[in-house]
Chains A and B, each alone.
Chain A
Amino acid sequence: MTGMRLLDRHVSLFSGSLRTLMQRESDRRRWADSPYAWLFQPYMGEEVVALACQVSPGRLPVVSLAAVVLSPHRVHTSQAWVATFADAQRACPATLRRHHRLYATESVLTPDADNLGSLAEFIGNRPLIGWQLDHAVECLNGLFKTGLGFGVPNAQVDVAKLHHRQLRRLHPHCDTASQITEALARWQVPGIQWLGVLGDATASALLYLRLQREMAREA
């Protein structure tokens, strides 16, 4: 493989540390012959996936998760992926109920290879975005590593960091809050009424679209 092709493949990952870079490459080689191999290929399209999650930690963690695809113009909320990952038999029923109510998830899935595989297929190799994405990716990584054996390989954009960077460009001495509602208000993204994790994902998606235009305008 020529150097240029290697560079091309990793150019979206250069923001990560060298260690994750190595990790990715070894994952890519290790999974080259599995059905998941395509997840490790670089993505060439225009879509991204907005991710949001809520976790109740504990011995048996309950994770509610929403992933929604967005193309340059549109947030495909109608085809969103929303579910709670938990062991339905053994997890605390009150916690499950709370997740169902608060985060508006409708199904409870056991975090086994099948269910996680379908989520991985849904996300594909598209880049991930989200408000404070590290947190979401961290718990997704936990699930993936136990269920599938590899961490999330996708390129990642943290909308919160994007927001802070953009804000600092405009007001160098501005204190930046870390609430998404404040960020939405700051960029005048019209408030939509949202519920649960899907709402969080949608809001971060809208904010991302808004920031993208802002950056395009400056360029």
Chain B
Amino acid sequence: MIEVDLSQLPFTLIDEEGRDHVRRGMDIAYFDRDEIILETGQAGESVFLIHKGEVAELDPTLPASSARIGHYTAGDLFGAISILNGKSRYRFQAEQECLCYVMPKALFMKLCRRHPDFEHFFKQSLSHKARLLTEKRADGGVTMAGFMLAKVSECMRDPLTVDATVTIATAVRQLNDSHADSLLVNTPSKVGMVTKTDLLNGLILHNCQHDSPIEAVAHFSLVTVTPQQYLFEALVLMTRHKVARVVVMEQGELKGVVELTDVLSFFSSRSYVVSLQVEQASNLEELAAASQRTPELVNALMAQGVKLRFAMDLLAALNGRIMNKAWSFIIPEEYHTQSCLMVMGSEGRGEQILKTDQDNGLILADGCDWPALSKDMNALTQTLIQLGYPPCPGNIMVSNPEWVGSVSQWKSNIAKWVSDRDGDSLMKLAILLDAHGVAGNPQLLDSVRTALFERCSRDELLLSYFARAALRFSTPLTLFGSLKKPQHGIDIKKGGIFPIVHGVRTMALERRINATSTLDRLDALAADGRLDRRFAEDLGEALALFTELRLRQQLQTLDETSTQRSNRVVVQELSSLERDLLREALHIVKDFKQRLSHRYHLEYS
């Protein structure tokens, strides 16, 4: 028998005998740093009680910066919900060395049967957590827009109170005078509310007279918030109770009213609406409707001057969720743990703003038997096209059997590409290097990536060939270091974005960095000591500038009929400040290219 501290919450819900069972039934498990304790989609076999250490709950389908959705420390319990659900929705990973007590599933289920309170605790926390998560996802968008800090107090109207004995006629007059559509009714004991709808119903349906007291039509079950609560919470309350206004109370004292229209105009960015829609979509039509709104979201975010990195993160998260949902609608449940859908290219790096072509592939577990594979994959590609992701011109899609394969097939592909080393193979390696799992079992992708690193990171010759592409396009600077100004504009993608992205990608390959976004890779390279922090920051800023210039260009042409997205920026149309910034940024690119050719010996190529 081991001594476990069972004086904490769920265990206080069971009796002494049950606790004794727990003590006798516990095992001890030891996990190393970064070890995965419970994988996404894995069946829950035990409940873990942390004795020492820290465990993170991760959603591997999200970009690294927002993947962490939960954090557990000593005394916390996890894994119970995975048992109740049948499988784990997220990945649990030890952040430090961890010592956990482990309760087997059978014992946990027995306790649940014997002690309904105990079971209820977990069921409740499940719904609680689901709600928190939706709220977090939803207000993620609001955070980006800088609205996270908006409190109820910033958006409330002063209350219009009348006495309960006032007649309906007076109340209507007061409503008209103050251009409001609701009144608060004060009685000695409680506060009620009258809306225009209530007045109408009272007069027409309930046969009230003009001189009957307002109390007769008021209703007294109010939804209240405090001024310190976030505005978003007020909105959630309104949605939940299907009302259009909530009353603001502070310590029993009336402070004001928040109207739905006020909140909506406050949140005009609508980012939260889109993410809520995605979360709530229960079929493909609803999902498509939500998906179509992302471009307008981008426009709104850009108009508000949101920092590009955050907008990209938000969009990557949204796209990931959309694809994940589409996947779960189409792919039969039994294949979820045996396959991994990955997005590649700019989407894998989480750097596309507008919807780009779908670059995706599928990794199957070795020995997975999936007769309807090609049919399902075609369906998935078609669905994604419906959802607004245009097909990839290079046919890098799951409907193409070349981009579907088992783990060992992928590994042999990698080996082949590495030994061929021609342009096409190098491009495929680069594409695969940016892969990010959005649905299914992310461990499969991890094992492929590990194999990729294993093969490439020490192969100097390959790295040199790989890095060479970064120098392919010249930097649009004149001999004297000023901007070139051709009539048709400079190609910002070739001249600025690509060298940074590809150079950083090469370094990440060399240093075996798992992150896929260029900015995250830069952070990791700086932490690794490969780049100095200042230079890494400069590169990140330069990249952000290029992307922003390009995006502005593309948003302008978005409404026009042209399907071809332009990467050209006409220097003459920029303000002098922007021109200066662009010149500086291109100099950073030039510097970076020099460092690359020094490191990877590209001088004579």
Contacts and interface: CB of A to CB of B under 8 A. Distances in A.
Interface of A: 73-78, 104, 188-190, 192-195, 198-199, 202, 205-206, 209-210, 213
Nearest to A206: B30
A193 B3 contact: yes
Contacts of B32: 213
Interface in B27-48: 27-32
Contacts of B53: 190
Contact of B99 (A76, A192, A213): A192
A194 to B, nearest CB: 7
B159 interface: no
Contacts of B30: 73-75, 206, 209-210
Contacts of A210: 30
A192 B27 contact: no
A194 B52 contact: no
Interface string B37-70: 0000000000000011100000000000000000
A218 B31 CA distance: 17
B25 interface: yes
8 contacts: A74-B102, A75-B27, A75-B29, A190-B51, A190-B53, A192-B28, A198-B2, A199-B2
B24 interface: yes
How big is chain B's contact interface, by range? 10 to 19
Contacts of B25: 78
B28 A206 contact: yes
B2 A206 contact: no
The A contact surface, by secondary structure, is mixed
B368 interface: no
Interface string B1-36: 111000000000000000000001111111110000
Interface of B: 1-3, 24-32, 51-53, 97, 99, 102, 104
Nearest to A73: B29
Contacts of A188: 97
Q: Ordered nearest first, which 3 A-B pairs have the shortest CB separation?
A: A190-B52, A193-B3, A75-B28
A202 B2 contact: yes
A193 B28 CA distance: 12
Contact of B31 (A73, A76, A104, A205): A73
Contacts of A77: 2, 26-28
A76 B1 contact: no
B3 A194 contact: yes
Nearest to B2: A77
Contact of B29 (A74, A104, A198, A213): A74
Nearest to A205: B28
B27 A78 contact: yes
A46 B26 CA distance: 21
Nearest to B21: A78
A189 B99 CA distance: 9
A23 B51 CA distance: 44
Contacts of B104: 78
A148 B11 CA distance: 44
B28 A104 contact: no
Contacts of B28: 74-75, 77, 192, 202, 205-206
A190 B96 CA distance: 12
Report which residue of A190, A194, A198, A202 has the largest number of chain B beta carbons within 10 angstroms of its beta carbon.
A190
A190 B2 contact: no
Given A76-B27, A77-B28, A206 B3 contact: no
A190 B74 CA distance: 11
A73 B98 CA distance: 11
Given A104-B1, A193-B2, A206-B99, 5 more contacts: A74-B102, A77-B28, A190-B99, A195-B1, A206-B30
